[in-house]
Structure 1
Amino acid sequence: MDQHGLALSGASQAIRHYDQAIDELLHFRIEVDAETGAALEADPDFPMGNVLSAYLGLLTTESADAHQARERFAAFRGRIDHAALLPRERAHVEAVQALLDGDFHTSGELLQRITEEHPRDALALAVGHQIDFFTGDARSLRDRIGGALNSWHDDDRHYGHVLGMYAFGLEEAGHYDRSEDVGLRAVELNQRDVWGIHAVVHTYEMQGRFGEGLRYMDTRVDDWSKDTFFNVHNWWHYSLYALEAADVPRALAIYDAVLAGGQSSMELLDAAALLWRLYLEDDVQHERWTALASMWPTLVDEPFYAFNDMHAVMSFVGAGRIADAEKLIATREAYVASPVPGVSNVAMTSRVGLPVCRALVAYGKRDYPAVVDLLYPIRHRVNEFGGSHAQRDAVQKTLLEATLRSGRHDLARVLVSERINVRPCSPFNWLKQASLAERIGDSAAATAARLRAEELVRQA
């Protein structure tokens, strides 16, 4: 039995390492790799150890890691008798194989079936939760965890982590009051639950409560910024709060201290997303872009995850490497022209990834009407290529800025009105209201909007 009372086959020493690996995974600690390796060293054919190893290789969203995971898992499957596995183990093998084959959606569905039968399977919940994130499925981010939650209890070792996942799902589904309460409870149970902290941070971001967000992160900085491979992303959130507070020097100091040192796709996209928000305000940061753009080519040399492609294109455009951005787009156009059946990323690239990447290049060329034409038709389905609302807001901000610069004032009015009425305490939204008013010649309204933005910063 594992730590959550589920049957599994394997050497007892391997199971002990597996239990610890799950704990490290839920804490987003790099030690998950070592514990998984130790489990497989103790028992090379330990089914759940091989399953976990494959999941880890796929959740980085990098093609090189996926290739290695495929090779290792194929060798494992070639050595074992599939029929001899326990039913839950067989189900995980099938879910892993679907993910290895590039079918995010089928893998998520298979993991949901595991959760229905085994709601205390922490690995099925955690991996399914990440797949929902990669596919931008807010409803499933909420309900996959919510449907299992009643099978967990306050005295369970990882109950707080399950609550943290649920809090993030609630936030992405728009239940902000509930997500804040659940997230705070998760962190109360485990102060180093970085995903739970992250859920609270997202909640404040989506409500425009940037002052509270900064104070919350300040009081818990040691809990979310140390001994975790998730610290870069949480520093990115801190930077978003700083930008909302009009504190660009602080955001850039964080960039230089933390974000600029990223190596993985997940870290590099945070760096690109921060610099792009400055780029939209004509704060070009060319040296930082140049260094960042140099990190991307080997990570996107083949199609794997359209969300990463967008941030690579941001980096190329920011660095003035338009030809490299267009080359990446050309490879993705060829990719969707000859699709491999069942690969989720094909539709993600075709329906969202390519239009967004083309729009970013158009923005870099100052062809703002083209940006609007590309982004406005897809603005309500950008979630289809993954990420969170906060991350995808870079696309929405690009569209808004393009409507202003192309003179599409009616569309700009709609977009600004939407933003202000969802987050009336956001200085950014009021500054865009001021920009729109200036462009249509209403100086009084522009002044009032700017004063409102300044007042919100002071209040926060």
Structure 2
Amino acid sequence: MGEEVKVDKWGYEVNTSSDACISAINAYYHQLLIYGRERSVILEAPLRDQHCVLANILAAHFLCSADPSRAPLHIQAAKSRLQQASAYEKAVFDAVSCLISQDRDDDLALELHSKLLKDFPRDLVSLKRAQVFCFYMGRPDLSFNLVQQVLHENQNENYIYGMLAFSLLECGQMVDAEKAAKRGFEINKQDCWSQHALCHVLQYECRFKEAVEFMEECSSSWSLCSSFMLTHNWWHVSLCYLEGHSSIRKVLEVYDNYIWKELERPDAASAEVYLNALGLLLRVYVRGHAVVFEDRLKTLVSRLTDQSTWYIEWHLDLLTIWALASTGELVKTEALLQGLKSRLSRMSKKKQQTMQRGILLAEALYEYGRGNHIRALELLGPDFNANHCKMIGASDEQLDVFNELWYSMLLSTGQATKAIEVIEKQVKNREGVPFLWRLLERGYSMTGKQEARVAGEKAMALETSYFK
């Protein structure tokens, strides 16, 4: 490679003679790690050096979601120059090309990323890419293993501890997750992923006021974040207000001013905003605040019917099914549901088995949305646990609404004994959530148990303890 060898941000060799190409690649790394809005900067790299393998394969990966029709050109450009590529570039090419292939082998894609990180452990963007992949596989344990694999080589590096913290909290290790998130925040106060991970922990532990104060203090650093990260962090804030029994008007204010308002920005990614908007709307509906948000839901549904944001993410599709069904758009709902089933039928047998829970949840949300709670419960089954549905691409916190929905339907269909059994288990994990105690109070009352009064008193005490 001679004079054409340069090094990227990680210190790994890249076969290019263009400083501008390397600069664009490094800028792309930065954008990915900060969840920035300028990830398209990677398209500048192959313009500066059309033969650079790394530039082309990273551009192809970006285009697979941004503009899929343009990706094959860059894949072919990278493939045609592989013989001239560095060992690092070849490893990235192998891992990414497997990841974005039409008939992807998930196990092989993970294996190739693991090998890449073993040989080139300072590449935090490949770690991030692999962790995102694990997230959509519903395997936080594998995500944790990957970050552990490279942690020694990145002890004091920016962004590594946010990645560690999120994998830890998704594995239920909240104490260690909090330590990792705080370490990441110490290294870089602007690291939105460390901020986000710490909020997850505070929220799970019912430290709602502390979470809100922390996140609102950090919010000035989110203006350059992607539509997803910006609205997702505000989704967490609104959820803390909701779970901590703040005024519903406060939740409405966050929705209007910080989530929905993102759509006014010319570079907003609408699907990313809709995901967080729908996630919040379903929460408030389950908790009995439908009237307050009814007009907002109708406005959102009017944008979902054109199908432009269908089939981007399973999680978004499932929330869309609920929204469409609950507003009477049954023909559209059935079309989306059938489309998901069609996509499932084209998957490998192994993938079909994994995603079957996602389809059942989609069908249940359709029935729930149109008011058929008995059928929805039949679909979910007697041992439903939303945490077993991670493969739709959702965190435990995002999935928790489906558990709340299940509890509420059990009560609304008269299955109070079963509801009490499962809610009591959840209360042991999150004793500080007023809504859970209200559900228990309702269940105890339905079965004539004296514990109803105690549960009601507990709920009332909690409702006034966080936001006075």
Q: TM-score, normalised by structure 2?
A: 0.88
Give yes or no for contact 1:141–1:168 (8 Å, CA) kept in 2.
no
Q: Which runs of 5+ in 2 are unaligned?
A: 1-6, 264-268
The separation in 1 between residues aligned to 2:12 and 2:139, in whole angstroms, is: 28
| Corresponding letter in the other structure for 1:111 | H
Matched position secondary structure for 1:407:
coil
User: What count of residue pairs does the alignment treat as equivalent?
Assistant: 444
Q: Which amino acid aligns with 2:279?
A: A
Partner residue of 2:168? 170
Where does residue 330 of structure 1 map in the other structure?
Answer: 338
Deviation at 1:459, TM superposition (A): 3.1
Q: Does residue 270 of structure 2 align to residue 264 of structure 1?
A: yes
SS in 2 for 1:44: coil
CA distance, structure 1, for counterparts of residue 58 and residue 250 of structure 2: 39
Equivalent position amino acid for 2:169 in 1: E
CA change 1:314–1:283 in 2 (3 A) is same
Offset, 1:300: 6.0
Residue 239 of structure 1 is matched in structure 2 by 238
Whole-Å Cα distance in 1 between the matches of residues 308 and 138 of structure 2? Answer: 20
- Note the 1:179-328 alignment, pairs <5 A: 179-223=177-221, 225-229=222-226, 230-247=229-246, 248-261=248-261, 262=263, 263-284=269-290, 285-298=293-306, 303-328=311-336
1:354-384 deviations in Å (ceiling 9; x for gaps): 2111111111232212222222355252112
Q: Deviations for 1:17-75, whole angstroms, at most 9, x for unmatched residues?
A: 211221122111112323x13322211232222222233334x5xxxx36235334344
Letter of the structure 2 residue corresponding to residue 447 of structure 1:
R
Moved more, 193-202 or 105-114: 105-114
Distance in 2, matches of 1:300 and 1:355, equals 23
Aligned match of 1:118: 120
Q: Is the aligned partner of 1:391 residue 2:398?
A: yes
Aligned match of 1:404: 411
Q: 1:152 to 1:259 in 2, by over 3 A?
A: same
Contact 1:289 1:318 survives alignment (8 Å): no
Three-state SS of the structure 2 residue aligned to 1:8 is strand
Q: Take 1:171 and 1:354, find their aligned partners in 2: how far apart are those partners? A: 26
2:3 alignment partner in structure 1: none
TM-score (norm 1): 0.90
Task: Give unpaired runs (5+ residues) of structure 1.
Answer: none
% same residue: 21
Q: CA RMSD in A?
A: 2.3
Match of 2:4 in 1: none
From the superposition, tell whether residues 236 and 429 of structure 1 become closer, same or farther in structure 2 (CA, over 3 Å). Answer: same
Q: Is the 8 A contact 2:177 2:201 kept in 1?
A: yes
Q: 1:294 to 1:89 in 2, by over 3 A?
A: farther
2-structure distance, mates of 1:430, 1:423: 10
8 Å CA contact 2:310, 2:317 repeated in 1:
no
Match for residue 151 of structure 1?
Answer: 153
User: CA offset at residue 297 of structure 1?
Assistant: 4.2
Distance 1:264 1:54 in 2: 22
Residue deviations 1:172-212 (CA, integer Å, cap 9, x gap): 11111111111011011111100110110111122222122
Asked whether the equivalents of residues 234 and 258 of structure 2 are also in contact (C-alpha less than 8 Å), the reply is: yes
* SS of structure 2 residue aligned to 1:459: coil
Give the alignment of 1:58-137 within 5 angstroms.
58=64, 65=66, 67-68=68-69, 70-77=71-78, 80-102=80-102, 103=104, 105=106, 106-137=108-139
Partners of 1:210 and 1:245 within 8 A in 2? yes
Counterparts in 2 of 1:45 and 1:87: CA distance versus 1, 3 Å: same
CA 1:267–1:203: 2 relative to 1, 3 Å? same
Structure 2: how far apart are the matches of 1:435 and 1:130?
40
| Match of residue 380 from structure 2 | 375
